[in-house]
Amino acid sequence: MESATSTSRPVEVPLRRTHERSLAATLRDYVALTKPRIISLLLLTTVTTMLVADPTGPAVSVILWTMLGGYLAAGGAGAINHYIDRDRDARMARTRARPLVAGRIEPLHGLAFGIALGSLATVQLALTVNVLAAGLALGGLLGYVFVYTVWLKPLTPQNIVIGGAAGAMPPLVGWAAATGGLSVEALYPFGIVFLWTPPHFWALSLLIKDEYARIGVPMLPVVRGEEVTRRQIVVYAVILAAFSVLPVATGFLGAFYAAAAALLGVAFVGLALRLLHRPSRPAALRLYLSSLAYLALLFCAMAVDRVI
């Protein structure tokens, strides 16, 4: 009897723990479908834009509901993107371990998950924030899925330029959530994200150009070459830096933002020029990572300037 008891104990406990780990792993995979690291930056641009639009500060409940809806909408777009790109992802080292590609989640389950998140986001934002914010979030989802992923990505090297409008929707969602409408000034945060997207993504494309070439996706480095891509990065970096100070020229933002935009712009253009004249993988990676910090700091400076 004592022997039987000692034998049964180690069998029962590991089985329960294995089940718990499996459930946790499945949940992590579903969260991974939403691309949370990308969403964190999108939510930052949303919340800071809410403060830019309404410096007195929207109600905390409005901010929280907007963040929830923004996460659901962007997460739904990310999950649907995983479904559409699963065959291409299987042939790229960077993406072949994704949940749908690796078989940890059934593709149709991932698609249904994405559609459910997008639908829930639209309803939730309409009920708890306003219809305009819900419509803009839905427009961003549809633009990312159908305009960028389905249509432009396999068609033209300008895919990320035109498709970048979908990624620039979160600031408009934030503006609409804070004010109930849109004004001309809402084009400032929208335009910054729109102009930031090409140099940010092209820096990444330089790092994985061979993988894009292998799967037939016409990213700019594949179609036009690395030299042209580096020049285009500089062009967009300069345009972005110039556009970022336009709110100061029109009197919408003040001295604090002006100093931050000037310093960040000079640093960003400097990294782009360094990549152009001294091309290397470390330089491309440095620009890619720095672009994330650039956008976050610029939007924070915008919000701080309006609040103070």
pLDDT digits (tens, 9 = 90+) for 186-219: 999 999 999 999 999 999 999 999 999 999 999 9
Taking only the tens place, the pLDDT of each residue in 150-182 is: 999 999 999 999 999 999 999 999 999 999 999
Give the span between the Cα atoms of 60 and 56, in whole angstroms: 12
Least confident of 17-21, 221-225, 268-272: 17-21
In this prediction, residue 131 carries a pLDDT of: 98
Tell me the C-alpha distance between 251 and 55, whole Å: 15
Our count of domains for the chain comes to 2
Same domain? 147 vs 200 = no
Q: Of 157, 181, 205, which residue is a domain's last?
A: 181
Is the pLDDT at 9 greater than 60, yes or no?
no
Residue 20 within a domain = no
248: which DSSP letter?
H
297 in any annotated domain: yes
Residues near 263 by beta carbon (within 8 Å), at least 6 away in sequence = none
Residues 73 and 166 in one domain: yes
- Residues of the chain with pLDDT > 70, as a percent, come to 93
Write the pLDDT tens digit of every residue in 105-153.
Answer: 999 999 999 999 999 999 999 999 999 999 999 999 999 999 999 999 9
Tokens representing 37 are: 């690291």
Determine, yes or no, domain membership for 4.
no
CATH code where residue 105 lies: 1.10.357.140
Q: Residue 241 above 60 pLDDT?
A: yes
Q: Over range 262-270, report the average pLDDT.
A: 98
Q: Is residue 188 part of a domain?
A: yes
End-to-end alpha carbon distance in the chain = 76
User: Is it the case that residue 11 has pLDDT exceeding 90?
Assistant: no
Query: What pLDDT was estimated at residue 31?
Result: 96
What is the structure's pLDDT at 100? 95
- Indicate yes or no: pTM above 0.75: yes
pLDDT digits (tens, 9 = 90+) for 87-104: 999 999 889 999 999 999
Query: Which run of H or E residues covers position 89?
Result: helix 86-89
Task: Give the pair of three-digit tokens for residue 241.
Answer: 């830096």
Considering the domain architecture, whether residues 202 and 253 belong to the same structural domain is answered as: yes
pLDDT of amino acid 4: 41
Same domain assignment for residues 238 and 177: no
For 137-207, strand residue ranges (E) read: none
For residue 255, pLDDT beyond 50: yes
Is the pLDDT confidence value at 3 over 50? no
Q: Are residues 102 and 154 in the same domain?
A: yes
Query: What is the pLDDT, as a whole number, of residue 303?
Result: 98
- Is position 196 within any domain? yes
Q: Are both 177 and 49 inside the same structural domain?
A: yes
Indicate the residue among 181, 210, 243 that finishes a domain.
181
Nearest 5°: CA angle at 132, between 131 and 135? 85
85 shares its domain with 175: yes
Average pLDDT over residues 273-298: 98
Provide the residue count of the chain: 308
**pLDDT digits 0-9 by tens, 39-70:** 999 999 999 999 999 999 999 999 999 999 99
Of 158, 181, 204, which one is at a domain's C-terminal end? Answer: 181
Print the domain residue range for 129: 27-181
Residue of 69, 17, 18, 16 whose CA lies nearest to 46: 69
